[in-house]
A = this chain, B = another copy of it.
Amino acid sequence: MMMNLTPKSHKIVILAEGSFGVLESKTATVLVRYLPDNVVGVIDSINAGKDVSEVIEIGVGIPILSSLSEAMELEPTLLAIGIAPPGGELPHEWRSIICDAIESGLHVMSGLHHFLSEDVELSELAEKHDTILWDARKPPDDLPVATCKAGDVDASVILTVGSDCRVGKMLSGIEITKEARTRGLNAEFCPTGQNGIMVWGWGIAIDAVVSDFTAGAAEEIVLEGAKEHDLLIVEGQGSLVHPGYSGVTLSLLHGSMPDAMIFCHQPSREIVARYTVPLPSLIEMISQYEMLTAPIKPAKVIGIALNCFDLSKTEAIDAINSVEIETGLPATDVVRFGAEKLVDAIQAFNS
């Protein structure tokens, strides 16, 4: 398992130059949301001078700064790359900022496809300045082909699945884990993507694993989480109807061998984002997941997490009610209304 850095023990400055608050800065938003006590500032010269909360509605009191040198006055110990563009390449103009950060003694945490630790210039510089380059997306060596061992763990395993990318599989997983912990349950979130790994400090980015070993990586995550926890909330990836990533989704489904699933969806989403593929009905999509678990270890969807960020409160409540009637399952928007209903469903399932 990757545990090179513990983000929660650092003062983090996020690099989001030119992109803070847009879709490509999801990493920055996630770090602000889940490590608010660690993030000391965000670098984005376009929004410099504002408070983070003026741009993304969370992160009150965190300043947006014009440059790394301005950020250094806040005495950060870690630079987090706050962007994860499709393709994953390192924006050329950021290289000099990263070099400056390393020379200032900062560790660097990145979720890019382009691994900083394999970049000759950056890794030599980091070695010279005794700082760590942590590629959250870089999988461990020697992952196995899946062997169905995840089905043998004592812990209850819940997988968040969904209709598409960016519908809330990570966020729901974290919110469910936090709510379960407030109830005294020995719960752990099991990250499977770079953003979750950066927030939570461990996990494997399974979409960066060679496909023969992707289910094996999911299995390893479950075995690791089950060592010290009774309830595992495994972060889902992609969707079974996603033309590019469906294989990642199925590897995760079969490798993690969940006992039950939480289905995540954005009610306003009608086609797969960036494609022209219409989403099937919720019932059809849920049925696909359940049918594919059946031959290996049958699991049911026991709750729905709706991402209603683009709906009014009234519209969100209507969407939730409508989905509950359509599916017969408890539904909620975990950001707006909390994860209580879903943890109720998990506790009822486990009892």
Q: Contact residues of A with B, CB < 8 Å?
A: 86, 145-148, 206-212, 214-216, 240-252, 254-255, 275-280, 284, 288, 291-292, 294-296
Contact = CB atoms under 8 A, between A and B. Distances in A.
Contact of A145 (B147, B214, B244, B294): B244
B215 A208 contact: no
B240 A246 contact: no
Contact of A243 (B86, B146, B246): B146
Contact of A295 (B145, B245, B277): B277
B244 A212 contact: yes
Contacts of A207: 210-212
Contacts of A206: 211
A254 B211 CA distance: 14
Contacts of A208: 210-212
A73 B169 CA distance: 62
Nearest to A205: B212
Nearest to A217: B211
Nearest to A295: B241
Contacts of A212: 207-208, 244-245, 248
Copies in the complex: 2
A243 B296 contact: yes
A294 B296 CA distance: 22
The 3 A-B pairs of least Cβ separation, nearest first, read A247-B251, A247-B247, A145-B244
Most buried by B among A243, A252, A277, A294: A243
Nearest to A209: B211
A161 to B, nearest CB: 14
A146 B272 CA distance: 13
12 contacts: A86-B145, A147-B243, A206-B211, A212-B244, A212-B245, A215-B245, A240-B250, A243-B296, A247-B247, A247-B252, A247-B254, A279-B295
A211 B295 CA distance: 23
A147 B211 contact: no
Contacts of A240: 250, 292
Most buried by B among A207, A214, A215, A295: A295
Contacts of A244: 145-147, 212, 215-216, 254-255
Contact of A215 (B148, B215, B243, B292): B243
